[in-house]
Amino acid sequence: MPEGHVIHRLAARYKEVFANGVVTVSSPQGRFADGAARLDQTTLTETDAYGKQLFLGFGFLGWVRVHLGLYGKVTFGRAPTPAPVGAIRLRMENDEAFADLRGPTVCELIVPAEKRAVVDRLGPDPLRADADPDLAWRRISRSRVNIATLLMDQAVVAGVGNIYRCEVLFRHGIDPHLPGRELTAGEWQTIWADLVTLMRDGFEVGRIDTVYPEHMPETMGRPPREDEHGGEVYVYRRASQPCHVCETAVLSARISGRNLFWCPTCQKR
């Protein structure tokens, strides 16, 4: 599932390509046909992103809410727009470009009150200037649930996915099994500040890099990571491989439906 920085990049891309101009909107697949018919030949006025929720604004007509889920994907291309191939839920196009949305968990046309209701259910988003980390801390500090699970709970922190949660806990030596209420306020402030930095970097460059300069491949003389997600990481998807810091084998376990990765030496209780 895409992490929050990907959704913010999509919001920026939609705005760059389509905002303030008339767009042709269609649903070749047919599952968003009614919404597309209402929006066709209207103007995309604004875009927004909150956590893993993408919003495309069409003035008084409302917002298209998109949640990519595990399989959703957006592809952009230049005109002329090709004939649709596959299950395209939402296609937007103008004279210069097109964007195709495939396989989202959610694609719906909603009114502003419904958008607010979606956002109100979410925790603070580290990529938003209006984020209040204290809201997340109040939930974390009262919880018996482990911190690894809490960081993936979108009602606690919005936009953090499996890569960021594994990596930020490693970077600060925090046992992922630690109950939220045993985390200190100082540790939470450090985690939050690092999430802001890492996710902003991800937004800027379009990939996740979490390794400090002294642990980069060229510094350590090791081969670069080869993974479809790209970027250099400490523990994510490195089960049984040696930790870049202490050489202990990285562990993995299934927690809350996702694979957690951590170093048992660097992240002791």
Enumerate the active-site residues: 2-3, 52, 258
Q: What pairs with residue 249 in β-bridges?
A: 242
Total count of residues recorded for the chain: 269
Contact 78, 30 (CB under 8 A): no
